[in-house]
Structure 1
Amino acid sequence: MSIQQSLLSRSNQTCELCTSSDSLSVYDVPPAEAHADKCIMVCATCAAQLNGEADIDMNHWRCLNDSMWSTVPAVQVVAWRMLKKLSSEGWAQDLLDMMYLDEEMLKWAEAGLVEHSDEPTLDCNGTILQAGDTVTLVKDLNVKGANFTAKRGTAVRGIGLNSNPEHIEGKINGQRIVIISAFTKKS
């Protein structure tokens, strides 16, 4: 039986992430060799976003609420990676907090993540920022999609860093948002 036939049988001919049955294909979960245990069946929408061929549609990935509980390790790994990528969204961070991967699967999941840049994240004064630092906003920022303005002087505690050295993540008004580091000052 071919890998594709095995995956179609395992997935009941649906995407193992979002359950769509349109344009299914095999997705090799890197870094791994092509083997049915290291691949998943995905639809064209999921494949395009996983491969970076299309912009990430946050709402599409709400399907991970169900697929993260799959008994298939490869599905769990892909769900963990996408939730990690979307962790600036409150719902994704909540799901990630609930998810458990054993040590071996966590190593596999982390092996496929984009490494952090060697370039440091700097505030407006050129001070190097570290994960967990507290920063203060140096200008008013309109928060897209949240209908509020983060005011100058607002303290953001326990910031997080990501793969882009120009961005930090932090919580303002109870929402986790991405902030341009040049608009902050280390406190």
Structure 2
Amino acid sequence: MSDIPACPICHMEHTYPDGELYICPDCGHEWLRVAAAQVEAEQIVRDVNGNVLKSGDSVTVIKDLKVKGASIPLKQGTMIRNIRLIDGDVEHIEGHSDKIKDLVLKVCFLKKA
């Protein structure tokens, strides 16, 4: 059995490698030869202590942060509940605090609660 994967679009097995790409001659789809597990490993979001963050987790702010568009800062120790991960971005999360809604925060200022 060949280690070349089938096309993810048309699922035909006639794919072939070409440099950094796999190519499907049936539908013309091209994709990178990077393994799916490697891509998934790169998308892991971690807090300041190295803990893995997932959507729905709660995090705590580790230092006072000025928030653009808000008159009050986000104080150290503020809890951000029910966070959402941003697709393709391992450096930011979305969430709400009790006083400020619709925040996008850098994970280097957060620790998992």
Corresponding letter in the other structure for 2:49? N
* Alpha-carbon distance in 1 for matches of 2:104, 2:41: 17
Gaps of 5+ in 2: 1-39
- How many residue pairs end up in the alignment? 72
Work out whether 1:177 is the aligned partner of 2:81. no
Aligned to 2:51: 127
- Runs of 4+ aligned residues of structure 1 deviating over 4 Å after TM superposition are none
**Structure with greater helix share of residues:** 1
- Check conservation: 2:70, 2:100, Cα contact below 8 A: no
Match of 1:152 in 2: 76
Shift of 1:146: 1.5
User: Structure 1: which 5+ runs fail to align?
Assistant: 1-115
Q: Match for residue 39 of structure 1?
A: none
How many angstroms apart in 2 are the aligned matches of 1:174 and 1:143?
9
**Equivalent in the alignment of 1:167:** 92
Q: Give the structure, 1 or 2, with the largest relative contact order (CA under 8 Å, sep 6 or more).
A: 2
Q: If each structure's strand is expressed as a fraction of its own residues, which one has the higher value?
A: 2
- Distance in 2, matches of 1:138 and 1:121, equals 17
- Which whole-Å CA distance do the structure 1 matches of 2:41 and 2:104 have between them? 17
Aligned-pair CA distance for 1:166? 0.3
- Alignment RMSD (CA, Å): 1.7
Contact 1:117 1:165 in 2 (8 A): no
Q: Deviations over 1:87-138 (max 9, x none)?
A: xxxxxxxxxxxxxxxxxxxxxxxxxxxxx99421110101110000000000
Q: Identity over aligned residues, as a percent?
A: 42
CA contact (8 A) 2:43 2:90 kept: yes
2: CA distance between counterparts of 1:131 and 1:121?
A: 10
